[in-house]
Chain A
Amino acid sequence: MTTQSTLINRRKALQLAAAAAAAPLMPSASWAGDSLLRAGITGFSVINTLDPAKASLLSEYYVLWAAFNALLKFDANMQIVPDLAESFRVVDTTTLEFKLRPGVKFQDGSELAADDVKFSLERLTDEALASPSRAKVAAIADIRILDPGTLQIMTRAPFAPLLTYLTNTRTGTQIVPYKTVKAMGSEAFGKQPVGTGAYAIKQWKSNESVELAAFPGYFLPGQNRIERVLMPLIPEESSGTTALLGGQIDLTSTAPFADVPSLRQKPALHVYTTSGLNTRYIALNNRKPPFDDVHFRRALSMAVDRNVLIQAVVFGEGVVSPGLLPPALHPRSDLPVPDLMKFNPERARGELAKSRYKAGTEATILIWGSNWWRRIGELFVAQTNQVLGTSLSLQVGDPNAVFARLRAGDFQAAVWGWLGLVDPDEYLGEMLGKGGFRNHQGYENPRFEELLAQGRAELDPERRWQIYRLAEQVMLEDMPLIPCFCSNVHNLATSRLSGFEQLPYSNYGDQFASLHIS
């Protein structure tokens, strides 16, 4: 008995010593109750700015979504609902009217007014600021303040994507306090930003972490019960998983695809999964041989078994999209995969026969990034070479180098993809439209452009979707890029965490206000 009690005492002493040593690491949520959430930003090591107008990386938005609000937001059903706006209405095809929620305060104590909204949107168009979100508000002709709580946004022509671009997503249209930004200057504001969100940014350690503190004046009552949020940047996704398993963090922004099936078996964890708003494709340079031949491009598309890609690359955590648009953007789930995107070796060889380029054609595909990104290229090359007898090869780079080459048009083909885009126009318009800043393929088709213009001008959601569907079919006939699949998005959370509502655009910080830790 004595021995046992001595042992227990020793063990306790060791535990106390370990706890004392661990105290400064990442404070344990178990003693903190609802006071601390440790939400890892996994897969990222860099945050460049915390000014919504300058933000472009997903890691930046993970934080901004907690600290800022926009006029609108997406609800759990991905429907657009008011956020800082109390209500909004379509006045005519080029005018939207917003009534602001009364009594909303910024984290510096100032009250939200219409001139803050006008300033926030107009500064995005300022050439000197060089905002990456500038194109999102380029259609705005004027913003008229009717009274401090009401404003109208006028566009040059009917512009349907504007509603999505005014949501608290990867849009840059989050509302900033006019006077504070003017007083601080944009550079300083990007380091110590002030928003209306449930959490204020307390400390930002470059390349390390961001710390948030609950904003007591947040406009929704009964929210942000967790007092502090620590968001460490964890570059390796697998390290994020081990940190969660080891109890060093409570939530991750992503999960390694390979680990998801086994993580689902662990009772101490919750794996949130949803079909994501993203697209993974092979970008083809339509200006350069051999990808300047539509039959060669179509042949490649039908020489690839996308289900094999999904199984081997993301371990089944994805779906073949019925085109370029991810399934989460479609109102119906029963859409068939187009024939040109189905694995059909015979038809693929038939298309190759019509092409100027034959078996043995050489071309280089750029690959980059972590294993699974590379594997897309490896499997693509293996399958197409086997089916068509081509001599496609791979060249390995890193994301920055490959992206620089894509922008410069200095490539033949490359594995690429985008994540978190919420409007069909961001996929079809920006990735394939004439002058679209993501259109590295150099694709141009007047009929497609015509449909894009119609889609932008159509305010009825159902009719708009039909137009984009048609545009997508026109594009697929040309196959300017080869859509591969759309992957699921994942968040890992300790089972003590509740209240997380996962949305397909990889939302994160916007959920902190409604979380609880038991």
Chain B
Amino acid sequence: MTLIGYSQRIAAAVLLAVFGAALIFFTMHAAPGDPALAALGEGATPQAIAAFRLRWHLDEPLIIQFIWWLSSALQGQFGTSLTVASGMPVTSLILARLPNTVFIGVYALILAVLISVAAGTIAALKRGRNADVVATSAAIFGISMPDFWLSYVLIYAFALGTGWFPAYGFVQPQSAITGAIWSGTLPALAIAAPMAASFTRILRASLIEELHKDHVRVARSFGYGRLFVFAHFVFRNALIPYITVIGLQIRYLFGGTVIIERIFGIPGVGSLMVDGGFARDFPVVQACALTFLLCVLVVNMSVDAVCTALNPRRRW
């Protein structure tokens, strides 16, 4: 892709981010409820509510509030938390939590890729045999299971049952990376399972398709070894649809963290957004949603770049 092509994509992404920010802002403010009630409680007097609204500029016209918020957001300032962490800057709240969410997300992605590469390859190479049936059935099971249900199954099996992992709580990667890996395993597995299942299916299908192509047969007839042919002519070509699917699935990964973080007590951006939503903490929800939106945009662009690198034809 040319430099102009990249610039166009980045410009489109920025436009999309601004449009997304507007959508998030106005949707949040259109929802019923009042942050003043969440902050001041059941006994809040009308005077106290009025003072709260004045203090946080909630009585200004929505469009003015949006312009203020967007101009601060463009400078990396997302305002102050109204209720969830009253008085704390939202930017520092998100920065403190983002590493946890990213860690769990990346961990889940790594697990999903490892599981799917192993299962997809075995299923493709042993097509129609027992190994294929097991891998394909497990994939259907994985896709069908809701992640929150799987979370509790994992907790009962590997935390309360064997005691290998904690049932609740998370060691932040900054404190101890081994602790983060240990305490993040079950939540990462819960997020990874449905992804691994769909990755396995797509990898199996594209591997089978590649295995039957003419150039593979030609390579085999030249006397190249099975492994060499598989690695160079089958697997590499099968990776392109596989990686595209990974890119598409990553947005579900962010959705997954929202529920999983609450179940496992991970102080991440997802759980912050849910708590912010219930407490009508507009700045927090807007900043969290925008963070997720930016993450998805960045991931999509990265996936595009990786696919282009893998498939030289796409460069033209």
- Measured CB to CB, the residues of A under 8 A from B are 17-18, 20-26, 45-46, 48-49, 55-57, 127, 130-135, 187, 191, 205-208, 232, 234-236, 238-240, 242-243, 245-249, 397-401, 403-405, 407, 437-438
Interface string of B195-213 (1 = CB under 8 A from A): 0000000000000000000
Q: Which 3 A-B residue pairings sit nearest by Cβ, starting from the closest?
A: A56-B41, A246-B167, A206-B85
* In contact, A246 and B160 (Cβ under 8 angstroms): yes
Ordered by A's residue number, 23 sampled pairs between the chains whose C-beta atoms are within 8 Å are A18-B164, A21-B181, A23-B179, A45-B271, A45-B274, A48-B39, A131-B43, A132-B40, A132-B42, A206-B81, A206-B93, A232-B265, A239-B265, A240-B168, A398-B33, A400-B34, A400-B38, A400-B278, A400-B280, A404-B33, A407-B37, A437-B42, A437-B43
Q: Does B175 contact A (CB under 8 A)?
A: yes
- A266 CB → nearest B CB, Å: 10
Given B84, B93, B167, which contacts A46 in the complex, CB threshold below 8 Å? B84
Q: How far is the CA of A331 from the CA of B183 in the complex (A)?
A: 50
Given A23, A130, A236, A404, which contacts B47 in the complex, CB threshold below 8 Å? A130
What are the residues of chain B within 8 A of A240 when measuring CB–CB?
168
* In contact, B168 and A239 (Cβ under 8 angstroms): yes
Residue of A nearest to B181 (CB): A21
Residue of A nearest to B51 (CB): A130
* In contact, A401 and B31 (Cβ under 8 angstroms): yes
What are the residues of chain B within 8 A of A239 when measuring CB–CB?
168, 262-265
- A255 CB → nearest B CB, Å: 15
Given A20, A207, A401, which contacts B267 in the complex, CB threshold below 8 Å? A207
What are the residues of chain A within 8 A of B274 when measuring CB–CB?
45, 235
* In contact, B33 and A242 (Cβ under 8 angstroms): no
Q: How far is the CA of A497 from the CA of B15 in the complex (A)?
A: 57
* In contact, B38 and A46 (Cβ under 8 angstroms): yes
If A24-B176, A232-B265 are given as contacts, then 7 extra A-B residue pairs at C-beta distance below 8 Å, sorted by A number, are: A21-B176, A24-B179, A130-B48, A134-B45, A207-B272, A246-B168, A248-B169
* In contact, A135 and B43 (Cβ under 8 angstroms): yes
Q: Does B171 contact A (CB under 8 A)?
A: yes
What are the residues of chain B within 8 A of A21 when measuring CB–CB?
171, 176, 178-179, 181-183
* In contact, B167 and A235 (Cβ under 8 angstroms): no
Given B164, B170, B181, B262, which contacts A235 in the complex, CB threshold below 8 Å? B262
* In contact, A26 and B169 (Cβ under 8 angstroms): yes
What are the residues of chain A within 8 A of B48 when measuring CB–CB?
130
Given B37, B85, B167, B181, which contacts A403 in the complex, CB threshold below 8 Å? B37
What are the residues of chain B within 8 A of A404 when measuring CB–CB?
32-34, 37
What are the residues of chain B within 8 A of A22 when measuring CB–CB?
166, 171, 179, 182-183
Residue of B nearest to A397 (CB): B32
Given A26, A187, A401, which contacts B32 in the complex, CB threshold below 8 Å? A401
- B49 CB → nearest A CB, Å: 9
CB within 8 Å for A206 and B278 given contacts A21-B181, A23-B176, A133-B43: no
Q: How far is the CA of A404 from the CA of B85 in the complex (A)?
A: 21
Q: How far is the CA of A172 from the CA of B87 in the complex (A)?
A: 21
Q: How far is the CA of A438 from the CA of B175 in the complex (A)?
A: 46
Q: Does B88 contact A (CB under 8 A)?
A: yes
- B 16-75 contacts with A by CB, 8 A: 31-34, 37-45, 47-48, 51
* In contact, A25 and B166 (Cβ under 8 angstroms): yes
Q: How far is the CA of A49 from the CA of B44 in the complex (A)?
A: 14
CB within 8 Å for A242 and B169 given contacts A132-B40, A236-B262: no
* In contact, A234 and B265 (Cβ under 8 angstroms): yes
Q: How far is the CA of A70 from the CA of B265 in the complex (A)?
A: 33
Q: Does B159 contact A (CB under 8 A)?
A: yes
Q: How far is the CA of A445 from the CA of B114 in the complex (A)?
A: 70
Residue of A nearest to B81 (CB): A206
* In contact, A134 and B43 (Cβ under 8 angstroms): yes
* In contact, A48 and B182 (Cβ under 8 angstroms): no
Q: Does B275 contact A (CB under 8 A)?
A: yes
Q: Does B279 contact A (CB under 8 A)?
A: yes
- B79 CB → nearest A CB, Å: 15
* In contact, A57 and B179 (Cβ under 8 angstroms): no
- B191 CB → nearest A CB, Å: 16
* In contact, B159 and A246 (Cβ under 8 angstroms): yes
- A183 CB → nearest B CB, Å: 19
CB within 8 Å for A207 and B262 given contacts A20-B178, A46-B84: no
Q: How far is the CA of A404 from the CA of B39 in the complex (A)?
A: 12
CB within 8 Å for A24 and B171 given contacts A56-B41, A57-B41, A400-B279: yes
Interface string of B253-289 (1 = CB under 8 A from A): 0000000001111010001101100111000000000
* In contact, B167 and A243 (Cβ under 8 angstroms): yes
* In contact, B265 and A405 (Cβ under 8 angstroms): no
Q: How far is the CA of A82 from the CA of B152 in the complex (A)?
A: 46
- B47 CB → nearest A CB, Å: 7
What are the residues of chain A within 8 A of B41 when measuring CB–CB?
48, 55-57, 132
- B 144-199 contacts with A by CB, 8 A: 152, 155, 159-160, 163-164, 166-172, 175-176, 178-179, 181-183
What are the residues of chain B within 8 A of A242 when measuring CB–CB?
152, 155, 159-160, 167-168
Q: Does B244 contact A (CB under 8 A)?
A: no
* In contact, B85 and A243 (Cβ under 8 angstroms): no
- B279 CB → nearest A CB, Å: 5
